[in-house]
Chains A and B, each alone.
Chain A
Amino acid sequence: MERPDDDVRKELEELSPRLLKLKEQGEVFRLPDHYFQSLQAQVFEKIQAEESAAGNRQALPRSNWFNQIMEQFQWLTQPRWSLSLATVALLITVGIGWMYQQSQATSQNLNTELAKLDQQTLDAYIQENLYEFDTETLMEFASKKESQLNFEEMNPEELDQYLDENLQELDEETIKELL
């Protein structure tokens, strides 16, 4: 019967006497006799087999089809054609850069147009499309909206409505100020 290391035994006694008992039954997995003596030979056989296979692959001559394809594309290395290709590549790069700048300008125009819309229109749009906005954006919007409120300019009806909607979030001091 095996005696586990003292530390491990004490730990298992506290955590799981069942597992300690199972452990004391001894090793349940066996292996073939002289396994480790033969393991080294098997590993070296595997290494040699891989090296032989790798050596065979390297010795294979390049096939004819490969040479034929390379001959077909040799014209690409001619100066006249390689210069033409370089010019085309340059034009494509410039085109992509110009299109990017256009999209940036469009984005700026969009922001300018949005700024012209009144708050009521913006509010209505947001209410109708609430589910398209993520929570973070909504909270940001709500906090901005709140900071824009000018209570002094609100009429009593507007004030009542605001209090009804936000009473739970407001602290005592703010409520007193509003009243």
Chain B
Amino acid sequence: MQQTKTSDEQILGLMRNPVTLERGFRLLMDAYQDRLYWQVRRMVTDHEDANDVLQNALVKVFRSITQFEGKSGIYTWMYRIVTNEAITFLNQRKRRSATSIDDANINLANRLHADSYFDGDEVQIRLQQALQTLPERQKEVFNLRYYEEMSYEEMSQLLNTTVGSLKASFHHAVKKVEQFFAE
């Protein structure tokens, strides 16, 4: 689902006017909340955590809309805010738990088993554990290609990286996941 540039401009116009700010922000959320939610959910896995992270990020979007210069598309800008918020959350979680990689995998498996919003079997849990071992950037590329089915061209604009390096990143990620399954 792609919001047209004209619609983005209309939304921005509404948001830059204090009288129509709220209406504009609601339209913005209507347009992109679904994609942003899934981006966060894939990173943090738990729905409640994803909800918290997304809300915090959307509040930041609301507060900083006047600073948006329009050099990138508005979705690209929001995507970066949301992703950074998710990474901050994950880093805080790692610092709080201070566990080894093996323990982190066990914790993840336990969380997913207990999660009423996760329907996957043991193999799907193993996939989530494998993804947890990937470097953040690689995981990001993997999620966008594997789950969102984003084209490399669109990903290149979103992440400001070349198509070639994104393909390499995805291929490496897939290889690492396969190696994890083989262990």
Contacts and interface: CB of A to CB of B under 8 A. Distances in A.
Contact of A43 (B38, B58, B171): B58
A32 B115 CA distance: 12
Interface stretch (A34-42, A66-74, A97-105): A34-42
Interface residues of B, number: 36
B124 A16 contact: no
A78 B135 CA distance: 60
A29 B29 CA distance: 21
A31 to B, nearest CB: 5
B62 A47 contact: yes
A55 B109 CA distance: 44
A28 B117 CA distance: 8
B104 interface: no
B124 A28 contact: yes
A36 B33 contact: yes
Given A7-B151, A18-B178, A43-B58, A36 B45 contact: no
Given A7-B149, A29-B118, A43-B58, 16 more contacts: A15-B175, A16-B174, A18-B178, A19-B127, A19-B146, A19-B178, A25-B124, A28-B124, A29-B38, A29-B117, A30-B117, A31-B37, A32-B117, A36-B37, A39-B29, A43-B62
Interface of A: 4-5, 7-8, 11-12, 15-16, 18-19, 22-23, 25, 28-32, 35-36, 39-40, 42-44, 46-47, 50
